[in-house]
């Protein structure tokens, strides 16, 4: 297939682009390099540098694309609270430009990176796709608005769309991994202690109603995520928008993650307990039953594999 990957110079987009190239697909990456890296685009893919708003139609029109994988977004929760307008513009506005370009160019299939942040603070665990969506920040709200737009584009313009709602993505594939200038994800932050880039790690609260008192989160290996994208792409049907949660079905506490990082790196990784952060739910875990039963997807890589691959990448830019 000929595929447009938006955000293919970023963490997840680069890994999935590499998987797509390996699977024999023709890949064009559209990325403005706002948070991505030119050298993260796999050799087999072509990079078009620019925004979706400026270039999506130009790239798609008359070029015989079969589908779009849409990763491009701003995704820092704190930044979204400080600059909500940026998130509505960059996430919703640019996604609408992409959808409109697809409609005009006659490209009818899209797989979209949605997020657990669309659910907000869940009433129960594990989170189902049918649970209420009450995002607590502009990042999650902008992603939910894109999901809603996809439903409308499916109903009114015959687009076939799949939204994949991720929780915490981790790990690496070969030379492709997580290189965020502002890192907010637990595993790379903990590994920064092992590389010497940080002195210690903070656990935000240890008095939550969880087995060891620290927050429990769902983690998924970026390679398993890529496999889900390929299955989602194959499942796109005209006029239908589907939403799937992607998680491991089981969570890990902050303490457990730090302990696995200690085992993998052999570093003592000093950790301190600090105060709770406002708005941090005790447990965020996804049910993956829907994607398991409808698309036959299941995560294959455990927390240890995620940490080991992220660690190999952190040290050498290489993962198994």
Residue 184 binding ligand NAD, by CB under 6 A: no
* Interface with ligand NAD (CB under 6 A), residue from 168, 214, 245, 265: 168
Nearest 5°: phi and psi at 115?
A: -150, 160
> Which of 18, 32, 131, 309 is close enough to bind ligand NAD by CB under 6 A?
32
Q: Minimum distance from CB of 188 to ligand NAD (Å)?
A: 10
Instruction: Report, in Å, the least distance between residue 145 CB and ligand NAD.
Output: 13
Q: Which of 17, 19, 35, 245 binds ligand NAD (CB under 6 A)?
A: 35
Instruction: Give yes or no: 139 in active site.
Output: yes
Please, which residues have CB within 8 angstroms of residue 218's CB and are 6 or more apart in sequence? 116, 126, 167, 168, 247, 248, 249, 250, 251, 284, 285, 286
Helices marked H in 158-284 — which ranges? Answer: 186-195, 222-235, 254-265
Burial of 189: CB neighbours in 10 Å, binned 0-12, 13-18, 19+:
middle
Q: Is 7 in the site for ligand NAD (CB under 6 A)?
A: yes
**Residue 294 DSSP SS3:** helix
Name the one range near ligand NAD by CB under 6 A: 71-79, 151-159, 260-268, 275-283: 71-79
Q: Which residues of 85-102 are buried (b: 16+ CB within 10 A; e: fewer)?
A: ebbeebbbbbbbbbbebb
If binding is defined by CB under 6 A, does position 225 make contact with ligand NAD? no
Using the rule CB under 6 A, which residue among 3, 4, 5, 13 binds ligand NAD? 13
Q: Binding ligand NAD by CB under 6 A: which of 16, 17, 31, 41? A: 31
Q: Assign residue 238 a region (left: φ > 0; alpha: ψ between -120 and 50; beta: otherwise).
A: beta
Exactly one of 52, 110, 203, 310 binds ligand NAD (CB under 6 A); that residue is 52
Smallest separation, CB 268 to ligand NAD (Å): 26
Question: Hey, what are 50's tokens?
Answer: 């620019």
Q: b/e map of 215-247 (b: 16 or more CB within 10 Å)?
A: bbbbbbbbbbbbbbbbbbbebbeeeebbbbbbb
Residue 9 touching ligand NAD (CB under 6 A) = yes
Shortest Cβ 139–ligand NAD spacing (Å): 7
Which of the 8 DSSP states describes residue 127? B
Q: Of 158 and 172, which has the nearer Cβ to ligand NAD? A: 172
Q: Which residues of the chain form contacts with ligand NAD (CB under 6 A)?
A: 6-7, 9-13, 30-36, 51-52, 71-73, 75, 90, 94, 113, 115, 166, 168-169, 180, 185
Catalytic residues: 139
């Amino acid at each position: 297939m000929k595929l447009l990957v938006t955000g293919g110079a970023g963490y997840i987009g680069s890994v999935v682009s590499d998987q797509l190239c390996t699977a024999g697909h023709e890949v064009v990456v559209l990325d403005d390099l706002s948070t991505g890296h030119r050298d993260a685009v796999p050799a087999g893919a072509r990079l078009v540098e620019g925004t979706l708003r400026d270039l999506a139609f130009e790239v798609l029109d008359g070029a015989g694309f079969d589908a779009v994988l849409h990763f491009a977004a701003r995704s820092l929760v704190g930044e979204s609270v400080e600059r909500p307008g940026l998130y509505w513009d960059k996430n919703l506005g640019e996604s609408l430009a992409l959808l409109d370009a697809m409609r005009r160019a006659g490209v009818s299939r899209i797989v979209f990176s949605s997020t657990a942040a669309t659910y907000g603070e869940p009433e129960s665990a594990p989170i189902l796709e049918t649970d209420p969506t009450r995002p607590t920040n502009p990042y999650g709200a902008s992603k939910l608005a894109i999901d809603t737009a996809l439903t409308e584009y499916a109903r009114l313009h015959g687009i076939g769309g799949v939204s994949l709602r991720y929780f915490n993505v981790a790990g690496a594939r070969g030379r492709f991994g997580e290189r965020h200038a502002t890192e907010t994800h637990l595993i790379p932050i903990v590994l920064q202690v092992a590389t010497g880039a940080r002195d210690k790690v903070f656990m935000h609260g240890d008095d939550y109603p969880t087995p060891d008192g620290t927050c429990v989160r769902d983690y998924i290996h970026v390679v398993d995520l890529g496999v889900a994208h390929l299955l989602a792409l194959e499942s796109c049907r005209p006029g239908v928008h589907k939403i799937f949660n992607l998680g491991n079905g089981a969570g890990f506490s902050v303490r457990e993650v730090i302990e696995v990082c200690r085992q993998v790196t052999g570093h003592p990784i000093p950790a301190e307990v600090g105060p709770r952060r406002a708005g941090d739910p005790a447990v965020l875990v996804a049910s993956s039953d829907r994607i398991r039963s409808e698309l036959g997807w299941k995560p294959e890589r455990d927390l240890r594999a995620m940490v080991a691959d992220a660690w190999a990448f952190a040290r050498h830019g290489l993962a198994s």
